[in-house]
Amino acid sequence: MAKANFEVPELQQYLDVPAVTPGTMAHSSPFVSRPEFQEPLGFLGELPDDWQARALAKFGELLGKYRSLRVYLDSCVKCGSCTDKCHYFLGTKDPKNMPVGRQDLMRKVYRRYFTLAGKFFPKLVGAEDFTKEVLDDWYSYFHQCSQCRRCSVFCPYGIDTAEISMAAREIMDSIGLGQKYCNEIIAKVYRIGNNLGLPGPALADTLEGLEEDVYDDTGVRVRYTLDKKGAEILLVTPSADFFAEPHVDGLIGYGKVFHEAGVSWTVSSYASEGANFGMFIGSYENMRRISQRIRKAALDLGVKRIVFGECGHAWRVAYSFLNTLAGPWDFLDPRYPVPQHICEFTYGLIQEGKLNFDKSQNDDKVLTFHDSCNVARASRMGPRPGGQFDIPRAIIREVCNNYYDMDEETIRDRTFCCGGGGGLLTDDLMELRVKGAKPRVEALNNVMVEKGVTHMAAICAICKSQFTKVLPFYGMDMEQIVSVHQLVSNAIVLTPGDDDEDEDIDSDAEGEDDVD
């Protein structure tokens, strides 16, 4: 069991709504960004003396730009429906982690400066001046929201705390109070092309290594190419897929599926990142800048389709926003949706009967599936609403013999966040991450006890990294979390190709087509 310098919550058999305990997480706040990470994103480097005036000006600007913000700050009636829905509240007991408690940190400032009632009767309506103490609370608690939207499911007006925390983070960024983790990563994408700062040659090495590994394992040459001009498909996947466990096993799986489909595909070194942390910090401009890299890569490589790998928020940006941010996609093949999820791609092939599986390869596991929040509540797969729940499960059932769902109240659109989403997947927030994972881990524990489940599959790089890290705090094994396409990879029966007998893999065989 991993060592913790805080109290790890005890797992319960039933969801236990804690008594409100103010201030339990007031000490939690992530490292503050530095000027060198702020400025490349177009933000102020440090907090200036006149921060309040600047923050209120930005606040006013956002109220005019985002209907969600304006309507949601006005509409809350404090009914309490959301109060027991946030995993961070359930795990920490801190009432400022109740969705409405979090929103009210911003709402009290909104009321004070932007509404008549708050200007004249601040005490009556709970309005407050925007003091440094309030700003500190903002920084702390708006970095305790993983923007998972579970609250918005249960709100009678659909108030989405993610919209509020994104706006709060954008206001704080604009006055030089950014979060180091997110902003450093975004700057890395601009400089190098991905969150992890993997340069092109390192990617090429990794992909070549994967080709060799797959060949050694299977005797079939599955191609994993980089910057291959004229490939049919551009795969955009979170950079964690290139080396982290269990992510990379998923990437191996995508390659095998493409191989069986007989389509050429490639990864771009310029847009080698599916993640888009611009969303976490609520910055349309940065989200757009990152998305535009995908457009440029698709144009430069001359691909016909774009497929996204397993990543939750990336799929939200891809599915819901990419057309807005980097469209129109009229230069791609109109027969396919833009973009497509790798699960949609794989499921399509299964429907056509083009994939053969040996399910027994996964017989050492009893599976369950974790619906990642951004996929579940902010996107779709396939032609019908809810396809985002059915398609991954259908794939798992196709490749595994043993599958059980977790408690119905903790899956599909009621799924619990892993606890590491929304730009919180950083070691300086470990206490929050462990406590926030409690509701999900509880449900997992229950199916482990009742159904003998051994592994939980996910389709999100953040979920996979988060569980790998926090499961040991609960006495579980980090290897219990697996990629969906890792299961596909285990079970898929590969078709031998003409080049399988070649001694060496020469990934530069088509060097003329390569671009830098």
Partner 1 sequence: MSFLTGLYAFLFYFATVVLLTGLVGKVVQYARTPAPLKIPTTPAPITTGGVVLRMAREVVFFESLFRGNKWTWIFGWVFHFGLFLVTLRHLRYFIDPVSLPIQLIQPFGIYGGIAMVLGLAGLWARRFLVDRVRYITAPSDHLILALLILIGVSGLAMSFLVHTDVVAVKDFFRGLMVFELHPLPADPLLLIHLLLVAGLMIIFPYSKLLHAPGLFFSPTRNQADNPREKRHIAPWAERLEQE
Residues 323-352 touching partner 1, rule: CB under 8 A, are: 323-324, 327-328, 337-339
Q: How far is CA 330 from CA 295, 321, 337, 339, in A?
A: 11, 16, 11, 12
For 78, other C-beta atoms within 10 Å of its C-beta total 11
State in angstroms the smallest separation of the CB of 345 from partner 1: 14
Please check whether residue 402 is in contact with residue 448, taking contact to mean a CB–CB distance below 8 angstroms: no
User: Between residues 25 and 196, which has the closer beta carbon with respect to partner 1?
Assistant: 25
User: Between residues 149 and 188, which has the closer beta carbon with respect to partner 1?
Assistant: 149
User: Between residues 34 and 288, which has the closer beta carbon with respect to partner 1?
Assistant: 288
Three-state DSSP string of 250-300? HHHHHHHHHHHHCCCEEECCCCCCCCCCCCCCCCHHHHHHHHHHHHHHHHH
User: Between residues 281 and 488, which has the closer beta carbon with respect to partner 1?
Assistant: 281
When binding is defined by CB under 8 A, the residue of 284, 394, 505, 515 that contacts partner 1 is 284
Q: How far is CA 172 from CA 145, 297, 431, in A?
A: 15, 32, 23
User: Between residues 53 and 79, which has the closer beta carbon with respect to partner 1?
Assistant: 79
One-letter amino acid of 155: C
One-letter amino acid of 280: F
Tell me if 256 contacts partner 1 by CB under 8 A. no
User: Between residues 64 and 353, which has the closer beta carbon with respect to partner 1?
Assistant: 64
State in angstroms the smallest separation of the CB of 73 from partner 1: 10
State in angstroms the smallest separation of the CB of 253 from partner 1: 24
Please give the Cα distance from 247 to 269 (Å, whole number).
18
User: Between residues 155 and 482, which has the closer beta carbon with respect to partner 1?
Assistant: 155
State in angstroms the smallest separation of the CB of 156 from partner 1: 4
Tell me if 74 contacts partner 1 by CB under 8 A. yes
State in angstroms the smallest separation of the CB of 338 from partner 1: 6
Of 128-187, which residues contact partner 1 (CB under 8 A)? 149, 152-160, 163
User: Between residues 103 and 426, which has the closer beta carbon with respect to partner 1?
Assistant: 103
Please check whether residue 283 is in contact with residue 252, taking contact to mean a CB–CB distance below 8 angstroms: no
Which DSSP helix (H) or strand (E) runs through 308? strand 305-308
**Structure tokens that stand for 59 in this block:** 């606040």
Closest of 336, 293, 300 to residue 317, by C-alpha: 293
Please give the Cα distance from 197 to 204 (Å, whole number).
14
Tell me if 313 contacts partner 1 by CB under 8 A. no
When binding is defined by CB under 8 A, the residue of 50, 65, 217, 493 that contacts partner 1 is 65
User: Between residues 122 and 472, which has the closer beta carbon with respect to partner 1?
Assistant: 122
Please give the Cα distance from 297 to 290 (Å, whole number).
11
When binding is defined by CB under 8 A, the residue of 34, 54, 58, 70 that contacts partner 1 is 70
Tell me if 42 contacts partner 1 by CB under 8 A. no
Tell me if 246 contacts partner 1 by CB under 8 A. no
When binding is defined by CB under 8 A, the residue of 75, 131, 351, 360 that contacts partner 1 is 75
Please check whether residue 464 is in contact with residue 372, taking contact to mean a CB–CB distance below 8 angstroms: no
State in angstroms the smallest separation of the CB of 69 from partner 1: 8
Of 79-138, which residues contact partner 1 (CB under 8 A)? 79-85, 95, 98, 100-101, 104, 115-117, 121, 123-126
Tell me if 67 contacts partner 1 by CB under 8 A. yes
State in angstroms the smallest separation of the CB of 471 from partner 1: 27
Closest of 243, 211, 180 to residue 31, by C-alpha: 180
Tell me if 433 contacts partner 1 by CB under 8 A. no
User: Between residues 66 and 113, which has the closer beta carbon with respect to partner 1?
Assistant: 66
**Structure tokens that stand for 131 in this block:** 């003091």
One-letter amino acid of 432: L
Please give the Cα distance from 325 to 296 (Å, whole number).
13
x/- mask, partner 1, residues 365-404, rule CB under 8 A, reads -----------xxxxx---xxx-xx---------------
Distance of CA 389 to the CA centre of its chain: 16
State in angstroms the smallest separation of the CB of 409 from partner 1: 10
State the burial class of residue 429 (Cβ atoms within 10 Å of its Cβ: 0-12, 13-18, 19+): buried
Q: What is residue 186's three-state secondary structure?
A: helix
State in angstroms the smallest separation of the CB of 100 from partner 1: 5
State in angstroms the smallest separation of the CB of 372 from partner 1: 12
User: Between residues 153 and 342, which has the closer beta carbon with respect to partner 1?
Assistant: 153
User: Between residues 16 and 74, which has the closer beta carbon with respect to partner 1?
Assistant: 74
Site size for partner 1, by CB under 8 A?
Answer: 73
Three-state DSSP string of 84-139? CCCHHHHHHCCHHHCHHHHHHHHHHHHHHHHCHHHHHCHHHHCCCCCCHHHHHHHH
Interacting span for partner 1 (CB under 8 A) from 186-194, 284-292, 364-372, 423-431: 284-292
State in angstroms the smallest separation of the CB of 76 from partner 1: 6
When binding is defined by CB under 8 A, the residue of 3, 5, 19, 501 that contacts partner 1 is 19
Tell me if 218 contacts partner 1 by CB under 8 A. no
Of 400-429, which residues contact partner 1 (CB under 8 A)? 413
Closest of 327, 335, 394, 342 to residue 367, by C-alpha: 394
The DSSP bridge pattern shows strands 455-458 and 481-483 to be parallel
User: Between residues 237 and 374, which has the closer beta carbon with respect to partner 1?
Assistant: 374
